[in-house]
């Protein structure tokens, strides 16, 4: 007996409240559907449904078992989906990145990893964008081969490459005095700082807070995972932001040099043993160097 198939029969009838409607939903005729539910009841040793002139209802046992049946079916679908991903990802290089990297940087990193293969046409590169916390978890669990994460960060037992400093520009509202006078960070008082939330990487967030305070600025913070959210907040006149994209332009936004190297984005590559292929690690590291094309 195909238990999952018969559970689908039960769930469909329970949700439709009618054998005919459930049969239409499942793309089958009513007699085998009714027989299938009866076989399920026989196997389980309980009556799941009441049948009557007014339609179909749930027995006490049926009402209690319906959520478990749905959970089993959902779990089976998730299992098949994960198997599909594993099948499609076989032989692929899975790299994670934080959203603070610009689209150009991620594209350059992807191209570098693919080009480094002995046969680039045969290599698939899958990029996942997530927070540092989630990326560390994914690498630790083996769902990613390596990841570019914020520094500093708790990386547990993962291996890590050198810290890379990626220059950033300052984004300010075009109608803000700082956009015309190119004043110090103190002139941004009153604006929030649009940046990734603290939950994405506690240590890196706290370092940014400390750096801004040293420079005389103690702003509120608006959550902005990447450049799109940051640009929206800046264009609305609510915030300033930092970006690693040296050519980022947007209406209502002025880009200025960041006041100080200490506001550069600090990232590093992490992986677990056994390490990914050497060419993969070398390609990612090369793409993160300041002189790499971005």
pLDDT digits (tens, 9 = 90+) for 134-145: 999 999 999 999
CATH 1.10.10.10 fits 3-88, yes or no: yes
By CB atoms closer than 10 A (0-12, 13-18, 19+), residue 83 is exposed
pLDDT band at 149 (very low <50, low <70, confident <90, very high): very high
pLDDT at 276 over 60: yes
168-263 carries CATH number 1.20.120.1780: no
Q: What is the mean pLDDT of residues 17-42?
A: 92
β-bridge mates for residue 96, sequence order? 128, 147
How many angstroms separate the CA atoms of 2 and 19, rounded? 19
Confidence of residue 84 (pLDDT cuts 50, 70, 90): low
For residue 192, the model assigns a pLDDT of 96
- Which of these, 141, 290, 159, 172, lies nearest to 240 by C-alpha position? 172
The confidence score (pLDDT) of residue 294 equals: 38
User: Cα(89)–Cα(14) distance, rounded to whole angstroms?
Assistant: 37
pTM for the predicted model, two decimal places: 0.68
Higher pLDDT, 214 or 91: 214
Token digits of residue 273: 């043993």
All structural domains of the chain with their residue ranges: 3-88, 91-164+266-288, 168-263
For the ranges 71-75, 149-153, 250-254, 289-293, which has the lowest average pLDDT? 289-293
Q: Which CATH number fits domain 91-164+266-288: 3.40.1440.60, 3.40.190.10, 3.40.50.620, 3.30.70.2860?
A: 3.40.190.10
Between residues 234 and 183, which one has the greater pLDDT?
A: 234
- Show the tokens assigned to 202: 């506690």
Q: Coil, strand, or helix at residue 74?
A: helix
User: The dihedral of CA 154, 155, 160, 165: what is its sign?
Assistant: negative
What is the average pLDDT value for the chain, to the nearest integer?
90
Evaluate if residue 290 carries a pLDDT over 70: no
Q: Same fold for the domain at 3-88 and the one at 91-164+266-288?
A: no
Q: If you average pLDDT over residues 167-180, what whole number do you get?
A: 90
**Predicted confidence band of residue 186 (pLDDT cuts 50, 70, 90):** confident
Kindly state the average pLDDT of the residues 96-117.
Answer: 94
The pLDDT-based confidence of 51 (bands split at 50, 70, 90) is: confident
pLDDT at 86 over 80: no
| 50 pLDDT more than 80 | yes
**pLDDT the model gives residue 292:** 43
Does residue 83 have a pLDDT over 80?
no
- Buried (b) or exposed (e) across 11-49, using 16+ Cβ within 10 A? bbbbebeebebbbeebeeeeeebbebbeebbeeeeeebb
pLDDT at 275 over 50: yes
Instruction: Kindly state the average pLDDT of the residues 188-197.
Output: 94
Radius of gyration of the chain measured on its C-alpha atoms: 27
Per-residue pLDDT at 293 = 40
């Amino acid at each position: 007996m195909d238990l999952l198939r018969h559970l689908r029969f039960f769930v469909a009838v329970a949700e439709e409240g009618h054998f005919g409607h459930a049969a239409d939903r499942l793309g089958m005729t009513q007699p085998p559907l009714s027989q299938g539910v009866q076989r399920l009841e026989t196997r389980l040793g309980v009556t799941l449904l009441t049948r009557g002139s007014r339609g179909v209802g749930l027995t006490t046992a049926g009402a209690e078992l319906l959520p478990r049946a749905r959970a089993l079916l959902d779990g089976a679908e998730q299992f098949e989906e994960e198997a599909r991903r594993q099948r499609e990802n076989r032989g692929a290089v899975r790299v994670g990145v934080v959203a603070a990297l610009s689209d150009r940087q991620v594209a350059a990193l992807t191209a570098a990893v693919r080009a480094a293969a002995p046969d680039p046409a045969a290599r698939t590169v899958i990029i996942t964008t997530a927070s540092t916390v989630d990326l560390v978890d994914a690498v630790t669990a083996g769902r990613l081969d390596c990841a570019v994460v914020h520094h500093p960060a708790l990386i547990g037992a993962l291996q890590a490459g050198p810290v890379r400093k990626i220059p950033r520009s300052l984004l300010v509202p075009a109608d803000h005095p700082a956009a015309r006078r190119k004043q110090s960070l103190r002139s941004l008082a009153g604006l929030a700082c649009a940046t990734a939330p603290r939950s994405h990487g506690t240590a890196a967030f706290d370092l940014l807070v400390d750096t801004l305070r040293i420079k005389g600025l103690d702003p509120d913070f608006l959550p902005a995972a990447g450049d799109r959210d940051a640009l929206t907040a800046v264009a609305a006149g609510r915030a300033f932001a930092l970006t690693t994209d040296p050519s980022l332009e947007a209406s209502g936004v002025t880009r200025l040099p960041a006041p100080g190297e200490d506001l550069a984005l600090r990232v590093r590559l992490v992986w677990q043993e056994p390490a990914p292929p050497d060419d993969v690690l070398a390609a990612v590291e090369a793409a993160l160097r300041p002189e790499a094309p971005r």
